């Protein structure tokens, strides 16, 4: 065991050592990777050390340096060293984090992390928290709690009676909602055809006046999905106004804050996320901006009874029988699962309040730096107000040139970022979400982008 783990540690050390200077994108085609990795399934297996070496060699050119400082694609954080180390131990300990009995330590760590997260985000301290695989499952879990909550108010028990014959629930989303809101609605049995979309403004923020008009026309249970952190522009919906409108109508307000909710953890972004605390549920990712390894999402629900009723596998009418002991599976869709609280615990404890604020502020400053450096070139247009960590860039006001620059940058390898469509126009999307990105990384990357024009 020791020899094998030492070998793994050496490989990890090599990879991490090269990470800051590695070609950021993949360097092999699919065919090359298949050729490197595909061997016939053997009858008798192979030496484990040989398998590890072969895996490292075969995978290497297909690995993306997304944990490194110059990966700006999608919204992908890296891994803080301590979070990576705690994640290694999580696999080593191999705890089943389902119930208290299968890992008291995993249960208590999730309890502690729950309190820290509620403090950092300044959300109701009595809210319940579940540790899920990512933003998708955080949205799903929160909306399952919402489905329970709004139907319960009209006397319908959806966990027992299902949706067939249930009073219709109005689902109100933003025109700019993340697609995982839509897939969550699908998995919850609502379907997507019934979604009512509220217009978004030029930054991708839900328009509160349009929401008010729409809600005035709806009768019966309502769930409203707002967003803190548009996946393209980083924009945050006007949460205070939305919360007032939603609650006047007795609707359940969910906020998808997969990355944007981390803005609550820094004083500099407080006003941007004001009113967030009035929502009923929140979705967040730790594997994005907290920079812990995959898979790590966080779901928070104000009404813990709705949360538990929607998720627990014991009957809804049973009181929590285990006293103070947390059974993690009461708050998430999974039964057996990874003890993902350990890495979150290690990251938060290491950084503290100030360290987390500094990490978030640093990424936002780097995003502004990107926008400033690129905008000096007359062929460049910055399409969004840079309010968080996202920058949308267009070249020569041309879809063709913009796509071309993106693909050249990807091949060139100094940095990596992807394209998107913004207000029906092609755009380059830059997301600064990694703890290790420095001002120098941004200078190098901006220079590479400008060269590619
Ligand atoms: C990334 C993201 C999601 C999905 O999160 P995963 O962790 O990829 O499942 C949902 N909503 C928003 C706004 C996001 O940025």
For 62-100, the DSSP string reads: T---TTSTTB-STT-----HHHHHHHHHHHHHT---SSG
Protein residue with least CA distance to atom 3, ligand 1 = 135
Average of per-residue pLDDT values in the chain: 96
Contact 449, 405 (CB under 8 A): yes
Residue 181: pLDDT above 90?
Answer: yes
- The rounded Å distance from CA 189 to ligand 1 centre is 20
pLDDT tens string 6-61: 999 999 999 999 999 999 999 999 999 999 999 999 999 999 999 999 999 999 99
The reported pLDDT for the residue numbered 313 is: 83
The reported pLDDT for the residue numbered 323 is: 77
pTM (predicted TM-score): 0.97
d(CA 200, CA 384): 14
Encoding tokens for residue 226? 């707002």
| Of residues 324, 333, 328, 151, the one with CA closest to residue 250 | 151
The reported pLDDT for the residue numbered 318 is: 46
Residue 317: pLDDT above 80?
Answer: no
- The rounded Å distance from CA 325 to ligand 1 centre is 30
| Of residues 230, 207, 204, 236, the one with CA closest to residue 423 | 204
Q: Is the CB of 259 under 6 A from ligand 1?
A: yes
Contact 27, 61 (CB under 8 A): yes
DSSP codes, 239-296: HHHHHHHHHHTT-EEEEE-TTGGGGGGSGGGTTTTTTGGGSSEEEEESSSTT--PSS-
| Of residues 229, 228, 221, the one with CA closest to residue 249 | 221
Neighbours of 104 (CB within 10 A): 13
Residue with tokens 């050592």: 17
Mean pLDDT calculated for residue range 230-243: 98
Q: Is the CB of 285 under 6 A from ligand 1?
A: yes
- The rounded Å distance from CA 223 to ligand 1 centre is 19
Residue 431: pLDDT band with limits 50, 70, 90: very high
Name the 3-class secondary structure at 42.
Answer: coil
The reported pLDDT for the residue numbered 322 is: 58
Domains and CATH numbers, the chain: 85-346 (3.40.640.10)
- Our mutation pick for probing the ligand 1 site, out of 143, 183, 285, counting the most ligand atoms within 8 A of Cβ, is 285
- According to DSSP, the β-strands at 418-422 and 281-285 are unpaired
Protein residue with least CA distance to atom 14, ligand 1 = 258
What sign for the dihedral angle of Cα 35, 40, 46, 48? positive
Q: Is the CB of 275 under 6 A from ligand 1?
A: no
d(CA 232, CA 392): 7
Residue 297: pLDDT above 50?
Answer: yes
pLDDT tens string 260-276: 999 999 999 999 999 99
């Amino acid at each position: 065991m020791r020899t094998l783990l030492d070998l793994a540690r050496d490989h990890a050390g090599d990879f991490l050592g090269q990470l800051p200077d590695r070609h950021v994108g993949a360097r092999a085609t699919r065919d090359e990777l298949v050729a490197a990795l595909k061997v016939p399934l053997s009858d008798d297996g192979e030496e484990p050390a040989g398998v590890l070496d072969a895996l490292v060699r075969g995978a290497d050119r297909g690995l993306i340096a997304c944990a490194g400082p110059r990966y700006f694609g999608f919204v992908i954080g890296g891994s803080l060293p301590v979070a990576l180390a705690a994640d290694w131990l999580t696999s080593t300990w191999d705890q089943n984090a389902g119930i208290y009995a299968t890992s008291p330590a995993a249960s208590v760590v999730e309890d502690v992390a729950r309190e820290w997260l509620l403090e950092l985000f300044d959300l109701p301290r009595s809210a319940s928290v579940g540790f899920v695989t990512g933003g998708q499952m955080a949205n799903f879990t929160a909306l399952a709690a919402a489905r329970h909550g709004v139907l319960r108010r009209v006397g319908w028990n959806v966990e027992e009676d299902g949706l067939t014959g249930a009073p219709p629930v109005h689902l109100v989303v933003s025109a700019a909602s993340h697609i995982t809101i839509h897939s969550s609605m699908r998995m919850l049995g609502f379907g997507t055809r019934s979604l009512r979309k509220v217009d978004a403004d030029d930054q991708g923020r839900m328009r509160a006046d349009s929401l008010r008009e729409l809600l005035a026309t709806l009768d019966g249970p309502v769930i409203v999905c707002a967003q803190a952190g548009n996946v393209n522009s980083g924009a945050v919906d006007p949460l205070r106004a939305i919360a007032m409108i939603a609650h006047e109508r007795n609707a359940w307000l969910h906020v998808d804050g997969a990355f944007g909710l981390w803005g609550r953890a820094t004083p500099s972004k407080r006003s941007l996320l004001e009113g967030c605390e009035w929502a009923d549920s929140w979705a967040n990712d730790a594997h994005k901006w907290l920079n812990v390894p995959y898979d790590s999402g966080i779901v928070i629900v104000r009404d813990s009874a709705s949360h538990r009723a929607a998720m627990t596998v014991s009957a809804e009418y049973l009181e929590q029988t285990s006293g103070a002991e947390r059974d993690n599976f009461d708050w998430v869709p999974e039964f057996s699962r990874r003890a993902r609280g350990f890495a979150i615990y290690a990251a938060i404890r290491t950084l503290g309040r100030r360290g987390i604020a500094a990490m978030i502020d640093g990424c936002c400053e780097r995003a502004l730096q990107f926008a400033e450096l690129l905008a000096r070139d007359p062929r460049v247009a910055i399409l969004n107000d840079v309010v968080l960590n996202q920058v949308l860039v267009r070249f020569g006001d041309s879809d063709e040139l913009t796509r071309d620059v993106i693909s050249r940058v990807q091949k060139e390898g100094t940095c990596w970022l992807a394209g998107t469509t913004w207000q029906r126009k092609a755009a380059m999307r830059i997301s600064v979400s990694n703890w290790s990105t420095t001002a120098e990384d941004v200078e190098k990357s901006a220079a590479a982008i400008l060269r590619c024009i």
